[in-house]
Structure 1
Amino acid sequence: MKKVILSVSAMLFVGAVSFAQGNTSSVSQLGDNQSSFVDQFGGLNSSKVDQDGSTNSSKVYQGILPGSYAAMRNSADVMQNGKLNVAFISQSNQDNEAFQNQLGNENNATIWQDQIAGAPLATQGGDWASQIQTGNENMATIDQGTSGNEKPVGPSVFSPSQLAAAAAVPVPFTPNSDNYAIQTQNGDFNVAYASQGGVENTSYQTQTSSGGESAGDGNISNHYQYGTGNMASNTQNGNQLLNDTLQIGVANSATVTQNGMGHAAVNFSYGTANTIIVNQGN
């Protein structure tokens, strides 16, 4: 095992590149306008990033060149405290874990977990992604499955003809399966987006208030799933909430729960034996 440990205070940029498998990287930064970049090849790698300050950026790439290295069972954990921070994690190919925790306002968190066809030990899925954001005007994005799940497009919430059944779908939604996406946002005017392609994937989104109250205002939830036996669950508490759920395939299920006033839920399923349940209350 090769081990790379970085501990940095008040530096502008930190980079770590690991080529063998089973590497460990640790980055700690204190201050504003910091950047960190971690690149890990192969599998069984772990990366931990801790940034305290504002306008910081963290990028973690694990499972680089999956056609040359068996990429699996990587783990990335990013913690950011401050505002206007950006966290990005990209993992290929299977049984990976990604965690992002942001405390503050106007932060952005993104996790990509994609399987590459033809890569060794690459095509089973089994990835886990978790995001927690506390504050206002934050954005959380999770993409699990093959690249290109970022549908639908267009300025409106679905239609015409539900954006032509999500542009006729050739989102390659196999062979990915058993992925989990969990997004929790506490605050107002936050946006959560989850996109999954494959079989028996699960997505949970919860949006509430950060002040210890039960309600958060102006939050937006988006679920897009393609394939078979996928499940989407959304819980929102507050006022002027919006949920969009799109599922294409067979035997998918969606549950939307909105408590408060002035909500909108737009749900569309295309295929066979899909189920949508919407609960709205004041």
Structure 2
Amino acid sequence: MKKPILIFAMLFAGSFAFAQNTATVSQTGNQNSSTTEQTGSNAASVEQVGSSNAANQDQSGSNTASIVQVGENTTNALTFDNLAIQLQSGQGNVATIEQREQGDSFASQEQVGDGNTATITQRNPWGNPAAPNVAFQIQEGNGNTATLNQFNGGNYSEQSQLGDNNWSLVQQAQSGNQAFHVQEGNSNYAFSGQNAGNQLAIIDQVGDGNIATTRQRGGSVNSVFVEQFGNSNNTGAIPYWGNAGENYGIDQTGNSNLVGLSQQGDFNNHFVRQNGDFNFVDIDVIGNGNSATILQFGNDNEARLIQRGDGHRTTITQTGNMNYANVIQR
């Protein structure tokens, strides 16, 4: 009878040694709340400085999570009424949320799988507090990376990735920006940079190896809609900051510009640059290996492109005001 008892004791000791969770919570201020639930071998850290902040963490497996909500020593206003939620299941996932200065911001991260990384940084420090920042990150699969930087207030972002080794980055400055990234498949790449206020960027990619990068800088009320369904479609560049004179993806400078792009197929490459006000581009592609470059410099220009089939090439350059171009390739 001693041998079974000894085996049970060894198994119990082994499970105790490997299932070690670590949680560290530090709160300064009033009416802060923190809830951490861990199953497996996870590490969690919560630090809240200010008042009425709430942090919720739920981890299963072997993951790392950190929530930081701080206000002191950066501006005169404490962080307050922020809410951060982290849900992780799997192995080797890392989630980080950091909300600073003015409050009322909301951040949520959910990761299922292995080796995913999610990072949210939200700040609302300039002048009087603006509207809250809101951020959602959802990743299911392995090796995905989602990064969000929001500066000032009133910005909204959603990043959703399903598959493996997808990459998404959103950078928002000023106020009133909205960005949505949806990627389903493997090894897709999306970037949206919004350096002025009241910009809208939507990227939806389904397939493998697709690239979409958008830049909106200066002015306001610019809008970009990118849809890519298939494999190895390209509306941008890796890295997103490189070769801006050619493969800039979609680049808008000015006010009230609009780009709509839909690609279905494989190995399509399309690039758009708008510099001015009230310019419009619409691209609709079904096929493989098609490409186009559309440049607009001026105001109230309109360019439309339809490509059906394979291997079509188009270049449209509009310089001046109120120009119109319509290209149909079959």
Q: TM class, shorter-chain normalised?
A: 0.3 to 0.5
Q: Whose RCO is larger (CA < 8 A, sep 6+)?
A: 1
State the TM-score, normalized to the length of structure 2.
0.34
Which structure would you say has the larger Rg?
A: 2
